[in-house]
Structure 1
Amino acid sequence: MEGVSSNRSMSYSRWSYDSTLDDEGSNLRQQKLDRQRALLEQKQKKKRQEPLMVQSNVDGRSRARRTKQCEEQAPLVESYLSSNRSTIYHGISSSMNFDEEEDDEDEVSSSSSQLNSNTRPGSATSKKSCKEAASASTPPVSEPAIDVDDLEEFTLRPAPQGITVKCRITRDKKGMDRGMYPTYYLHLEREDGKKVFLLAGRKRKKSKTSNYLISIDPTDLSRGGESFIGKLRSNLMGTKFTVYDSGQNPGKTTSSLEATILRQELAAVCYETNVLGFKGPRKMSVIIPGMNMDHERVAICPRNDHESLLARWQNKSTESVIELHNKTPVWNDDTQSYVLNFHGRVTQASVKNFQIIHDNDPDYIVMQFGRVAEDVFTMDYNYPMCALQAFAIALSSFDSKLACE
Structure 2
Amino acid sequence: MTSSPVTYAQLTSDTFAPRNGADSDNEDNSQDASVAPQETTIRVTRPTDPIDFVLPRPILSDDDLHDLAFRPAALNSRVTCRIIRFRDGLDKLYPVYKLYIEHLATNEIHHVLTAKKQRKSQTSYYTIFGNIHNVDQEHPGAYITNEKTLGKVRSNFLGTSFSLYSHGNHPEKKTDISKKDLPLREELGAVLYDPNILGFKGPRKMTILTHTLTRDGRRPEFRPESEFETLLAKYKENRMDNMLVLHNKSPQWNEETQSFVLNFSGRVTQASVKNFQIVHDNDLDYIVMQFGRVDRDYFTLDYKYPICLLQAFAIALTSFDAKLACE
The structure in which a higher percent of residues are strand is 2
1:229 is the counterpart of 2:129: no
Q: 1:239 to 1:101 in 2, by over 3 A?
A: closer
Q: 1:99 to 1:147 in 2, by over 3 A?
A: farther
**1:98 partner amino acid:** A
**2:203 partner amino acid:** P
**C-alpha distance in 1, partners of 2:219/2:118?**
28
Question: Which of residues 308, 316, 321 is equivalent to 1:399?
Answer: 321
**C-alpha distance in 1, partners of 2:197/2:39?**
41
1:300 is matched with: 222
1:98 is matched with: 36
**1:198 partner amino acid:** V
Are the aligned partners of 1:115 and 1:162 in contact in 2 as well (CA < 8 Å)? no
**C-alpha distance in 2, partners of 1:238/1:174?**
23
What does residue range 181-260 of structure 1 map to in structure 2 within 5 Å?
181-190=94-103, 191-217=105-131, 227-252=148-173
Question: Which of residues 283, 288, 296 is equivalent to 1:374?
Answer: 296
**1:314 partner amino acid:** K
2:277 is matched with: 355
2:87 is matched with: 173
Q: 1:12-49: per-residue Cα shift (whole Å, max 9, x none)? A: xxxxxxxxxxxxxxxxxxxxxxxxxxxxxxxxxxxxxx
Normalised TM-score (structure 2): 0.76
Q: 1:277-330: per-residue Cα shift (whole Å, max 9, x none)? A: 111000010001110112111322112211111111111111111000000000
**1:209 partner amino acid:** T
**C-alpha distance in 2, partners of 1:173/1:179?**
4
Percent identity between the aligned chains? Answer: 47
CA RMSD of aligned residues (A): 3.1
**C-alpha distance in 2, partners of 1:300/1:247?**
12
Look at both structures and tell me which one has the larger radius of gyration over its CA atoms: 1
Task: List runs of 5+ in structure 1 lacking aligned partners.
Answer: 1-95, 119-142, 220-224
Deviation, structure 1 residue 275: 1.5
Task: List runs of 5+ in structure 2 lacking aligned partners.
Answer: 1-33, 134-145
Q: 1:292 to 1:271 in 2, by over 3 A?
A: same
Are the aligned partners of 1:366 and 1:384 in contact in 2 as well (CA < 8 Å)? yes
Are the aligned partners of 2:53 and 2:79 in contact in 1 as well (CA < 8 Å)? no
Are the aligned partners of 2:169 and 2:175 in contact in 1 as well (CA < 8 Å)? no
**C-alpha distance in 2, partners of 1:355/1:163?**
17
**1:183 partner amino acid:** V
State the SS of the aligned residue for 2:218: coil
Question: Which of residues 250, 254, 258 is equivalent to 1:336?
Answer: 258
Deviation, structure 1 residue 174: 2.4
Q: 1:182 to 1:145 in 2, by over 3 A?
A: closer
2:238 is matched with: 316
**C-alpha distance in 2, partners of 1:340/1:303?**
40
Question: Which of residues 254, 265, 277 is equivalent to 2:199?
Answer: 277
Q: 1:116-153: per-residue Cα shift (whole Å, max 9, x none)? A: 956xxxxxxxxxxxxxxxxxxxxxxxx74545641232
Aligned residues: 274
State the SS of the aligned residue for 1:292: coil
Deviation, structure 1 residue 386: 0.7
**C-alpha distance in 2, partners of 1:370/1:380?**
10
Normalised TM-score (structure 1): 0.62
Are the aligned partners of 2:47 and 2:76 in contact in 1 as well (CA < 8 Å)? no
Are the aligned partners of 1:249 and 1:262 in contact in 2 as well (CA < 8 Å)? yes
Are the aligned partners of 1:239 and 1:271 in contact in 2 as well (CA < 8 Å)? yes
**1:382 partner amino acid:** K
The structure in which a higher percent of residues are helix is 1
Are the aligned partners of 2:98 and 2:114 in contact in 1 as well (CA < 8 Å)? yes
**2:269 partner amino acid:** T
**C-alpha distance in 2, partners of 1:246/1:175?**
29
State the SS of the aligned residue for 2:239: coil
Are the aligned partners of 1:175 and 1:182 in contact in 2 as well (CA < 8 Å)? no
Q: 1:401 to 1:364 in 2, by over 3 A?
A: same
1:364 is matched with: 286
